[in-house]
Structure 1
Amino acid sequence: MGEIKQVSRETDASLPHSLWRAEQIRQAEIALAAAAGISLYALMERAGGALEQHILQRWPGARRVLICCGAGNNGGDGYVLARRLREKGLMVTVLATREPARLKGDAGRAASSWLAAGGSVLGVDAPVPAPDLVIDAVLGTGVALPVEGDPARLIARINHWQQEGTPVLAVDLPSGLQADTGLVLGEVVQASETLTFIGLKPGLLTGAGPNWCGRLSLAPLGLAIDHWGAPVAQRIDYPALASHLAPRRRTAHKGDHGRVLLVGGNAGMQGAILLAARAALRAGAGLVRVCQHPSLPAPSLSQPELMQADPSELGLGWDSVRVIGPGLGQDEWARRCFAAALCQNESLVIDADGLNLLAQHPLHRDNWVLTPHPGEAARLLGCRVAEVEADRLAAVTALQQRYGGVVVLKGAGTLIHDGEQLRLCNEGNPGMASGGMGDLLSGIIAALLAQGLPAAQAAALGVALHGEAGDLAATEGERGMLASDLLPWVRRLVNPQISQER
């Protein structure tokens, strides 16, 4: 059956990095099971066994288990689990959206086995004793329409128990969550934990998925999907990418590590450009200059290592990497700076108001990294934010096709697309939903570009390092965390050999 692997700060690096669409997993399940001589019902039994093992490990004191079953194979997994837990002596109650006699295929067989073992099935509204644990086996990966009727009422009951403090384990994914996108289809289960099967689905890690799945675990069920086909995306994290940060040569000098020029910081918005510039310094750029509004105090007064540049110098080619947008604004001064800054052939990182100005006059370039949040992405695509969030994988793909280069779609489960490969980073935390965090990311990516990393690699590593720094800073609390709190961690993380030694 294989070991169950769990997502946590300690075990992220051991999780599979491949992400699969639900249809891919369905096809792989059939093909791999057939190749191994395993029936799909035997695979359902394996799923029930994995759930049983997980429950006994995570909630060994649970005696009353309530299992909520739907009409499909997700419900079939629930019936198998019910029978196995009853055999272990636990008190099991089953609520179902459909009578067992009306079930078909493997789900019907699993329900019949439960009844033959002495179990019974109640309707969705039946009164039940207070459970120690609730199992959500209502809806699986095939749901595409808003949840209504009996499934919706049963989901509401599950969430009531969860709000009362009863843990909820979702089978494969929380019912009502779209597996590929993380879109909520009307009603959705608030899971304490989710045990997903065979392969990781992107909807668990991006969109609304992280809000609903709780602690995420994977049971491969003995099927090696990684050897079956091409995944839709790769999950990335800092431990997997830190090897790109090799120690520097003993004879290195500042010119070896690139020159970053940041354009932004309009009147009243100097903080954004300073945060991006400080991040570039802490992420290892050799030299950093700031082109900001002439009314503002020199950046060296806040950070002595920063140099100032005049807008007239934007065409001189001093820099190897250019960041355009933090605190830039959209007035006439901003428009002139934006136009002048785009005239060069250096690597570019476009963020904030740079993206808003780009949306007004779209361009396609291969030498930039764009870092929109969902609102900026919607402006770039000419759509609503809700449309971006409804399918973030489609949105980042559309952005890359329209604008070129590398696109970083920020948010829970940040996505990176370079035109060839799609990556998803699930590091980071809600404490990072505060002003200035995006400015840090722009500076970090620029510094990595300046040190010679290819754009796709710099973007992926920058996102992972940024999220890891946020998670480390959050050990002192998420609420009240500032963007500047990440800077000491950024410095440590760009020197992984030191972090490992300590």
Structure 2
Amino acid sequence: MMGLRETRCLELNAMSLGVDEETLMENAGKAVAKIISERYENKKVVVVCGTGNNGGDGFVAARLLKNSSVILAKSPEFIKTDLAKKKYREWGGEGLVYGSKDDLAKAEVIVDALLGTGVAGDLRPPYDDIVDAMNNSDANIVSIDVPSNLWGSKRVNPKITITFHHKKEGMNGNSGEIVVADIGIPQNASLYTGPGEFAFFPLSKKDAHKGQMGHVLVIGGGPFPGAPVLSAIAAMKVGADLVTLLVPENSARFASNHPELIVKELPSSNRIEMSALERITEEMNKCDVVLLGPGVGTLRDTTDTLRTTINSSSKPMVIDADGLKALRGHIDILKNKKGIVTPHAGEFEFITQEKLSPGIENHTKAACYLSNLTGMTVILKSAIDVIAQNDSYRLNRTGCPAMAVGGTGDVLAGLCAGLMARGMDPFKAGRLGAYISGCCGEMAFRRYSYSMGPIEVLKYVPDVLKSGLSRV
């Protein structure tokens, strides 16, 4: 079963691979026309079209079906999308605007192209009357993709639903016979990350207030004071409402140049140590997501402190950089935890004490292995990243070789933490975080060539976010 956002994700990814939206609509309409022609030969067909792209699918089907007519929910000027308008014109007929149930009286087959996957709730006129008229008719109803208003209080009750690519969540038991049609979405649309990942980005509500979209706590710094700052800025740039840096004194001075961040000092001058545990626990209780590891170094006391923090934490976590080193010989502490670990090949070998063979197939198996071992989402970083949650995985091929510099991993970890704070689950946050990071790196390289670094990557997060969300 596939949810609505998963469906939109696939469609957008397919379009990014060269399958345009018009091709998908044409293929959907052809599939509907073919099945109806086979099942209901020589029957009088009435296609009921709404104002969105579900109606566009209906216009394509009507153009291809013999002995068919169209009833419009509203007059043609209310058709919303340019593509649906184009398909209406290509159909070439004069659709009757719905007036009463009598408009459907002579239909032997009604094609439900009224409302698509983007609609749920209480129906307003004329849609409530049209749904009643369809359900009360003697015709066989065939719904396109999903029965209209499937998730609402009043829905169409079809004999057949012709859905596309996969069954949708909520269809079983109330969609009649479900026929899954292939409309040309390539396999790579579900194998690789793409712009469709933005379909999962939680948008802020109109009445949103500060803190509602998440609070990230970044625990890091000491030997490398810049790393946690990069992570914190990345988390903020993908929309975390609040970002707190909890760092040693030397790192706090470094971070104070960024007024958008909340900076709090640990009781030590230049490293994280056991004496900080009480303060760490106090701050963790105030946040939604914890990011551990950027810039902490590998002193034993620091590693022991991070391990104890991970073991006791009930918060979703992103564990990155030297924070991963605390897991060597103690991977079991991640059991029943929620979050993301972000090793590159060397870190994977260090924490698992197993050799990682080259090649994307081996990397995929390794990432799934570590995820199954821990329950965490794994981002195994390489030229092609593998993002794995148990046996499910995506590959991310955005990015460029110039990103293989210090600090870009801190940016990725911060992006993932910020997305989780907004409400994304770790697997989806990892997929979108890796995609955004790589796209920003590509843009930075086009502008700065090999002079680019993590600061330049961060500059492009707003552009990538704006572009991605505009397509959803």
Q: TM-score range by the shorter chain?
A: 0.5 to 0.7
1:293-347 deviation digits (Å, cap 9, x = unpaired): 2333435422112122333322120111001111111214412430343112110
CA contact (8 A) 2:304 2:326 kept: no
Q: CA–CA distance in 1 between the matches of 2:437 and 2:395?
A: 14
Matched, 1:358 2:327: yes
Tell me the distance in 2 between the aligned counterparts of 1:383 and 1:400. Answer: 15
Given that 1:290 and 1:307 are in contact with CA atoms closer than 8 Å, whether structure 2 keeps it comes out as: yes
2:216 to 256, 260, 264: 260
1:492 partner letter = D
Deviation (angstroms), 1:250: 2.6
1:421 has 2:424 as partner: no
CA-to-partner distance for each residue in 1:394-442, whole Å, 9 max, x for gaps?
2112211222211110011100110141110111111111110100000
| Counterpart residue number, 1:440 | 411
Cα distance in 2, alignment partners of residues 13 and 326 from structure 1? 33
Does 1:326 pair with 2:294?
A: yes
5 Å matches for 1:288-327? 288-309=243-264, 310=266, 311=276, 312-316=278-282, 317-327=285-295
Gaps of 5+ in 1: 1-9, 17-223
Question: For residue 313 of structure 2, what is the amino acid of its counterpart?
Answer: Q
Contact in 2 for aligned 1:262/1:289 (Cα 8 Å): yes
User: Using the alignment, how far apart are the partners of 2:304 and 2:352 within structure 1?
Assistant: 23
Partner Cα distance (2:468, 2:323) in 1: 35
1:7-34 residue CA offsets vs partner (Å, 9 max, x unmatched): xxx9981258xxxxxxxxxxxxxxxxxx
Match of 1:409 in 2: 380
C-alpha distance in structure 1 between counterparts of 2:295 and 2:321, whole Å: 7
Question: Where does residue 16 of structure 2 map in the other structure?
Answer: 13
SS in 2 for 1:315: helix
Q: Which residue of 1 aligns with 2:309?
A: 341
Mapping of residues 472-487 of structure 1, within 5 Å: 472-487=443-458
Match of 2:241 among 286, 304, 316: 286
Contact 2:368/2:388, CA 8 A, preserved across alignment? yes
Checking the alignment, whether the CA contact within 8 Å between 1:374 and 1:389 is kept in structure 2 is: no
Q: 1:390 to 1:493 in 2, by over 3 A?
A: closer
- Give the distance between the partners of 1:431 and 1:440, measured in 2 at CA: 14
Cα distance in 1 for partners of 2:447, 2:294 equals 27
- 1:493 shift after superposition: 2.5
Q: Which amino acid aligns with 2:306?
A: F
CA distance in 1, matches of 2:422, 2:309: 21
Counterparts of 2:458 and 2:419, CA distance in 1: 15
Quick one: which of 392, 412, 418 aligns to 2:363? 392
Equivalents in 1 of 2:469, 2:242: separation in Å?
23
Where do 1:112-261 residues align within 5 Å? 234-261=190-217
Q: Is the 8 A contact 1:234 1:424 kept in 2?
A: no
- In structure 1, what residue type is equivalent to 2:292? I
Residue 478 of structure 1 aligns to a residue whose secondary structure is helix
Assess if the C-alpha contact under 8 Å between 1:441 and 1:463 holds in 2. yes
Q: Which amino acid aligns with 2:369?
A: A
Q: Write the distance in 1 (CA, Å) between the matches of 2:361 and 2:254.
A: 40
Could you list the per-position Cα deviations for residues 49-73 of structure 1 after superposition, in whole angstroms to 9, with x for gaps in the alignment?
xxxxxxxxxxxxxxxxxxxxxxxxx
Instruction: Identify if the C-alpha distance between structure 1 residues 388 and 289 changes in structure 2 by more than 3 Å, giving closer, same or farther.
Output: farther
Change beyond 3 A, Cα 1:416–1:233: farther
Post-superposition Cα deviations, 1:264-286, rounded to whole Å, max 9, x if no partner, equal 1123x011111111111111111
Percent of aligned pairs with the same amino acid:
28
Q: Which amino acid aligns with 2:17?
A: S
CA distance in 1 between counterparts of 2:466 and 2:301 reads 38
User: Which whole-Å deviations, capped at 9, do the CAs of 1:42-101 have from their partners, x for residues lacking one?
Assistant: xxxxxxxxxxxxxxxxxxxxxxxxxxxxxxxxxxxxxxxxxxxxxxxxxxxxxxxxxxxx
Q: CA separation in 1, counterparts of 2:15 and 2:407?
A: 26
The corresponding residue for 1:489 is 460
Q: 1:202-244: CA deviations, max 9, x gaps?
A: xxxxxxxxxxxxxxxxxxxxxx89899xx79943334121222
Distance 1:359 1:388 in 2: 24
Question: Structure 1 residues 355, 467: CA separation in 2 closer, same or farther (over 3 Å shift)?
Answer: same
Instruction: Note if 1:277 corresponds to 2:232.
Output: yes
Whether the 8 Å CA contact 2:256–2:263 is kept in 1: the answer is no
Counterpart code for 2:205: R
Q: Establish whether residue 377 from structure 1 lines up as the match of residue 380 from structure 2.
A: no
Provide the residue aligned with 1:466 in structure 2.
437
Conserved 8 A contact 1:322-1:346: yes
Q: CA–CA distance in 2 between the matches of 1:420 and 1:436?
A: 29
**2-structure distance, mates of 1:443, 1:258:** 13
Relative to structure 1, is the Cα distance of residues 232 and 426 closer, same or farther in structure 2, using a 3 angstrom cutoff?
A: closer
In 1, distance between residues paired with 2:339 and 2:296? 17
Q: Specify the code of the residue in structure 2 equivalent to 1:463.
A: A
Aligned pair in 2 of structure 1 residues 383, 339: CA closer, same or farther (>3 Å)? closer
Q: 1:12 and 1:376, CA in 2 relative to 1: closer, same or farther beyond 3 A?
A: farther
> 1:325 is aligned with what amino acid?
G
Residue 382 (structure 1) shift: 1.1
SS at match of 1:237: coil
How far did residue 479 of structure 1 move?
1.1
Q: How many residues align?
A: 282
TM-score by length of 2: 0.55
1:486 positional shift: 1.5
Q: TM-score if structure 1 supplies the norm length? A: 0.52
Q: Answer yes or no: is the 8 Å Cα contact 2:229–2:255 preserved in 1.
A: no
Q: Counterpart of 1:407 in 2: which secondary structure?
A: strand
Are the aligned partners of 1:324 and 1:341 in contact in 2 as well (CA < 8 Å)? no
Per-residue CA shift, 1:331-378, capped at 9, x if unaligned?
A: 144124303431121100011111111124222334121100010011
